[in-house]
Amino acid sequence: MLIAGNWKMFKGPTATREFFASFSPPASVDVVIAPPYVSLAAAVESGGTIYAQNVHWADEGAFTGEISSPMLRELGVAGAIVGHSERRQYFGETDETVAERAEAALAAGLGVIACVGELEEERERGETENVLRRQVSVLPDDERLVVAYEPVWAIGTGKTATPELAQEAHAFVKSILDRPVLYGGSVKPDNAAELLAEPDVDGALVGGASLDPDSFAAICRAASSRS
């Protein structure tokens, strides 16, 4: 079981240190936290497993605003999220750039959580499997790659996929790429256990509820009772 917290654009270094001072997850669960770039160093000090929220495919170059795998490794960062739906929706990320980012990070020895998921209108039009096939089939088959299924209509909306719907999507993703699949989209302490009970739900990628050390630890405990 892997429980990952994506902090998005929340928490500078001071708030990051405060979080880790009161965060105590069970030892039996793998926990990853992905803070904003400026808080990575403060998070690494905690001794936990820290991921960035994105990573560029080049080692260095004229790419204003980007950060490379060697830079992350130098800080002690263990991996990166790629292809989050907010990157795809607001920052022009495509299946191709997501694949390039994932390949470079893996080649540099980082772990990768690659996010996929359909929009609400795609689900309504019955296109979920086509979208997932397109997004997943470009990802590298690598032992350090984990997929996160995050239906876009469930992110930050309080609308969670039902456990059955998540299970169906996860099984479909694994039929294309046989890697662990995390569920993301409004995972909270009170719905984590039922989602994590599904056979193909291998963990969670948590947004809002990962910002509070008590609620994130509660989600980690729900995972620990399944593992």
When binding is defined by CB under 6 A, the residue of 112, 116, 181, 187 that contacts ligand 13P is 187
Give whichever of 176 and 187 is closer to ligand 13P, judged by the CB atom: 187
Q: Does 53 bind ligand 13P (CB under 6 A)?
A: no
Of residues 95-154, those binding ligand 13P (CB under 6 A) = 150
Residue span 165-184 as binding mask against ligand 13P, x where in contact by CB under 6 A, dash where not: -------------------x
Q: Does 189 bind ligand 13P (CB under 6 A)?
A: no
Of residues 191-220, those binding ligand 13P (CB under 6 A) = 205-209
Q: Rounded to the nearest whole angstrom, what is the least distance from the CB of residue 78 to ligand 13P in the complex? A: 17
Question: Is residue 154 helix, strand or coil?
Answer: helix
The catalytic position among 56, 84, 93, 118 is 84
Give whichever of 84 and 123 is closer to ligand 13P, judged by the CB atom: 84
The strand pair at 49-52 and 30-34 is best described as parallel
The residues near 122 (Cβ < 8 Å, ≥ 6 apart) are 128, 131
Give whichever of 86 and 103 is closer to ligand 13P, judged by the CB atom: 86
75: amino acid identity, one letter: L
Give whichever of 58 and 152 is closer to ligand 13P, judged by the CB atom: 152
Is 84 one of the annotated active-site residues of the chain? yes
Q: Rounded to the nearest whole angstrom, what is the least distance from the CB of residue 113 to ligand 13P in the complex? A: 9
Residue 137, class by beta-carbon neighbours within 10 Å (0-12 exposed, 13-18 middle, 19+ buried)? exposed
Which residues share a beta bridge with 206? 5
Please tell me the distance from the alpha carbon of residue 171 to that of residue 109, in angstroms, as a whole number.
27
Please tell me the distance from the alpha carbon of residue 87 to that of residue 111, in angstroms, as a whole number.
19
210: amino acid identity, one letter: S
Q: How many residues bind ligand 13P (CB under 6 A)?
A: 14
148: amino acid identity, one letter: A
When binding is defined by CB under 6 A, the residue of 3, 6, 104, 220 that contacts ligand 13P is 6
Question: Is residue 193 helix, strand or coil?
Answer: helix
102: amino acid identity, one letter: A
Q: Does 156 bind ligand 13P (CB under 6 A)?
A: yes
Please tell me the distance from the alpha carbon of residue 32 to that of residue 101, in angstroms, as a whole number.
19
Q: Which residues are designated catalytic?
A: 84, 150
Applying CB under 6 A, the residues found at the interface with ligand 13P are 6, 84, 150, 155-156, 184-187, 205-209
